[in-house]
Amino acid sequence: MSVTGSFQLMKSLNRSLILNTIRLNGPISRAEIAKRTKLTPPTVTNLVAELLESKLVRESEIGVSKGGRKPILLTINWKSSYVIGLDVGGHRATAVLTDLNAEIEIQKMKSLPTKLTVDSLLQFLITMIDTLIEESGIPKKKVLGIGIGMHGIVNHSEGVGVFAPNFNLTNIPIKDVLQTQFSIPTFVENDARALTLGESWFGNGVGFENIICVNLGVGIGAGVILQNELFHGRNGIAGEIGHMIVDLHGSKCSCGSYGCLQTVAGGEVLKERVGKELTTGRRSIIQDKANMNGGTITGELIHQCAIEGDSLAIEVLAETGRLLGVGLTNMINFMNPDRIIVGGGMAKAKEFILNPLKDVVRSRALTSEARETDIVLSKLGDQGTVIGAVTLVLKSLYTHSY
Ligand SMILES: [Zn+2]
């Protein structure tokens, strides 16, 4: 049976249920699967036989006998098939090929050209996937699915990039074009939501039903998981907290509105604030380091200066943290999540942003429980979105839902 065939096999809910039970509890016996899934033993035996034939599952060691014959245990055959994930950011794309447990086999990163059309972007992605498969040495027929975490507004059910602000492109038919090109099932999601799903399955969201995962970069996005499922909203804009209005009389945002959270707490604003302070003649080692860096002030550089005790660097990061804290306090009062996960480039400043952020939540959220809301950094870091893109495929395989 071909791999695409075995993916089709998962179109049965019960097969996915058994596969996911083996994923979460393996090595596990057929009898134990029947007990946990409440399926009848003959049903389990039949479906397991199909899974064994598809090579997605294999028999492993012998279990402990409770009297009588020792049961044969089943486990996922992690490297029987592979998944491709892509993180298409504003400036660069990252691609990985992983096994069925999201373990990375090979990773590639490429800067995106500055001028892109819908066609040239799609061609860029095709070339990247081709190169990845070729360099991995893994036959294409073993690739089970392709997941894409795309920046901007995404229609996930159609697999279309509705609007990609960094490229100024609209209506990018990602799923259609990639599926036609590779004949591999393809899933597309907004990058912040992909990151959220990745954290939920393989990161700091494991075990929590309701989470908000915030992606701090040039823009500020978030993904929301409600009762273990991603929440999209009617038009896929749920979670766009960067455009939460925090200042009625604020400056103009890229979205056309005024005073959005990302106009006061986005990555670019952080650098602008530093630049402004320096022009007033304020002393800071940021200036010296930037001079060595060809005059460029980066987020990384500001963080480094904060570590070295520079007061301006510490001050601007804290201000950003407090403003993000305002946005997150609003989110906590609105949704009352189990946990908030903070990721993205700016999250690398760690405690310099996170502590002031938590201070605002701890003093301003509605109730004592809300003020204690668990706020942690992303576990997957730079690979969060790309692992999330892989998880789009794995979720469909293991839970028969997307
Ligand atoms: Zn805005």
Q: Give a three-class secondary structure readout of the chain.
A: CCHHHHHHHCCCHHHHHHHHHHHHHCCEEHHHHHHHHCCCHHHHHHHHHHHHHCCCEEEEEECCCCCCCCCEEEEECCCCCEEEEEEECCCEEEEEEECCCCCEEEEEEEECCCCCCHHHHHHHHHHHHHHHHHHHCCCHHHEEEEEEEECCEEECCCCEEEEECCCCEEEECHHHHHHHHHCCCEEEEEHHHHHHHHHHHHCCCCCCCCEEEEEECCCEEEEEEECCEECCCCCCCCCCHHHCECCCCCCECCCCCECEHHHHHCHHHHHHHHHHHHHCCCCCHHHHHHHHCCCCCCHHHHHHHHHCCCHHHHHHHHHHHHHHHHHHHHHHHHHCCCEEEEECHHHHHCHHHHHHHHHHHHHHCCCHHHHCCEEEECCCHHHHHHHHHHHHHHHHHHHCCC
Say how many Å lie between the CA of residue 70 and the centre of ligand 1: 62
List the strands of the sheet with 28-29, edge to edge: 28-29, 72-76, 57-62
Say how many Å lie between the CA of residue 262 and the centre of ligand 1: 7
Say how many Å lie between the CA of residue 255 and the centre of ligand 1: 4
As a CATH number, domain 206-378 is 3.30.420.40
Within the chain, which residues score under 70 in pLDDT?
1-11, 61, 63-68, 401-402
As a CATH number, domain 82-201+384-399 is 3.30.420.40
Model pLDDT, residue 90: 85
Say how many Å lie between the CA of residue 43 and the centre of ligand 1: 53
Question: Which is nearest to 229 in space by CA: 196, 190, 252, 188?
Answer: 196
Identical topology for domains 82-201+384-399 and 206-378: yes
Share of the chain above pLDDT 90, in %: 81
Cβ density class 143-162: b for 16+ within 10 Å, e for less: bbbbbbbbbbbbbbeebbbb
Say how many Å lie between the CA of residue 72 and the centre of ligand 1: 57
User: CB within 8 A of 353, min separation 6: which ones?
Assistant: 216, 317, 318, 320, 321, 324, 342, 346, 347
Statement: 3-76 belongs to CATH 3.40.50.2300: no
Say how many Å lie between the CA of residue 111 and the centre of ligand 1: 26
Model pLDDT, residue 9: 55
Say how many Å lie between the CA of residue 67 and the centre of ligand 1: 66
Radius of gyration of the chain (CA): 23
Which pair of structure tokens corresponds to residue 142?
């073993």
Say how many Å lie between the CA of residue 366 and the centre of ligand 1: 26
Say how many Å lie between the CA of residue 380 and the centre of ligand 1: 27
Say how many Å lie between the CA of residue 302 and the centre of ligand 1: 25
- Three-class DSSP labels, 16-42: HHHHHHHHHHCCEEHHHHHHHHCCCHH
- Greatest Cα pair distance in the chain: 83
Say how many Å lie between the CA of residue 257 and the centre of ligand 1: 5
d(CA 364, CA 361): 5
Domain ranges in the chain are 3-76, 82-201+384-399, 206-378
Question: Which is nearest to 205 in space by CA: 8, 342, 397, 31?
Answer: 342
Share of the chain above pLDDT 70, in %: 95
Model pLDDT, residue 212: 97
Say how many Å lie between the CA of residue 219 and the centre of ligand 1: 9
Say how many Å lie between the CA of residue 163 and the centre of ligand 1: 14
Model pLDDT, residue 13: 84
Which phi and psi (to 5°) does residue 296 adopt? -85, 130
Model pLDDT, residue 7: 56
List the strands of the sheet with 339-343, edge to edge: 229-230, 220-226, 211-216, 339-343, 374-377
Model pLDDT, residue 1: 42
Q: How far is CA 317 from the centre of its chain?
A: 24
Q: Across-strand partners of 220?
A: 216
**What's the mean per-residue pLDDT of the chain?**
92
Residue 330: CB atoms within 10 A of its CB come to 16
Residue written as tokens 């994923």? 23
Say how many Å lie between the CA of residue 331 and the centre of ligand 1: 16
Q: How far is CA 378 from the centre of its chain?
A: 10
